């Protein structure tokens, strides 16, 4: 005979079953979101001005993970469970790419792909030379930009055209700033050379990556270049497996003053003109 006292009331049974269903639904949703994030798309927020005038601090972008295939860096926390890349597709020069900083393999960086494996890259007077040929630059109207130090400064803007015919805007504070005159970089096999579109406000492949195991990897840095650009710590060459994905679209955008904890800034500091802007 069943002891009546040991049988849960019908209401209690229903509450337990409902809690289990909620937990299962949340688990399914998190699992689907993780799969989508790893295999298809991942959102990023732009934290700095290094890609102006094409990406601004506060832009909320979507990056396609499938564009170049997948590596361990496609997975959160970069667990060493994948060697190299699966379904690898080489990026195209001119792509805006999110990659893991080779110095620590953790920090996400976003720059434009300038140099392919085997290319010889040099910057002279702010102009980019690829394999001895200068990239054409059409001057655009100068602009006033916020320096982030409480004052504005006039900058020169250009429309640059790369060897594949892709055109994009760049920004330059002058022809003699850091990184405007360099030696020749020869991009190693399996590695890429990146630059920010805001050429005088970007720590990128022009600059020594600093002391790290990276210097003994396949993308070994050429120490002879240090004399040209000082002691700025930058990115160096980027290994193929560090590529995370291609930046495709600015989904939403807010000014830097917007805050999650100040709901009125969600509207007052929004930049609707940048919403749903496809990147090129």
By annotation, the residues acting in catalysis are 50, 111
For the chain, the helix, strand and coil percentages under 3-state DSSP, each to the nearest 5: 20, 30, 50
Distance, in Å, from the CA atom of 44 to the CA atom of 94, rounded to the nearest integer, reads 19
- Give every CB contact of residue 38 below 8 A, 6+ residues apart in sequence: 65, 70, 74, 75, 76
User: Is the CA virtual torsion 169, 171, 176, 180 positive or negative?
Assistant: negative
- Give every CB contact of residue 24 below 8 A, 6+ residues apart in sequence: none
Burial status of residue 277 (CB atoms within 10 A of its CB: 0-12, 13-18, 19 or more):
middle
Burial 158-178 (b: 16+ CB within 10 A, else e): bebebeeeeebbbbbbeeeeb
């Amino acid at each position: 005979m069943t002891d009546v006292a040991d049988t849960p009331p019908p209401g209690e049974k229903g509450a337990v079953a409902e809690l289990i269903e909620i937990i299962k639904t949340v688990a399914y949703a998190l699992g689907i979101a993780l799969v989508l994030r790893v295999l298809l798309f991942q959102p990023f927020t732009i934290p700095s001005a290094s890609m102006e005038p094409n990406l601004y601090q506060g832009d909320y972008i979507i990056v396609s993970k499938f564009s170049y295939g997948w590596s361990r860096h496609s997975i959160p926390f970069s667990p060493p469970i994948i060697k190299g890349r699966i379904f690898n597709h080489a990026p195209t020069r001119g792509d805006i790419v999110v990659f893991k900083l080779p110095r620590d393999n953790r920090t996400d960086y976003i720059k434009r792909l300038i140099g392919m494996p085997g290319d010889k890259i040099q910057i002279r007077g702010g102009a980019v030379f690829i394999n001895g040929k200068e990239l054409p630059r059409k001057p655009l109207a100068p602009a006033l930009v916020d320096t982030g130090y409480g004052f504005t400064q006039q900058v020169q803007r250009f429309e640059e055209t790369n060897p594949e015919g892709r055109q994009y805007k760049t920004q330059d504070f002058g022809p003699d700033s850091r990184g405007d005159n360099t030696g020749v970089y020869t991009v190693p096999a399996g590695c890429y050379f990146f630059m920010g579109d805001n050429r005088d406000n970007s720590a990128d492949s022009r600059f020594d990556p600093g002391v790290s195991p990276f210097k003994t990897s396949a993308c070994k840095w050429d120490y002879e270049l240090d004399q040209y650009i000082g002691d700025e710590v930058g990115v160096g060459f980027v290994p193929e497996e560090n590529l995370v994905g291609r930046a495709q679209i600015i989904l939403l955008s807010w000014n830097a003053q917007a805050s999650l904890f100040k709901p009125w800034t969600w509207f007052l500091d929004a930049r609707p003109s940048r919403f749903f802007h496809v990147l090129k």
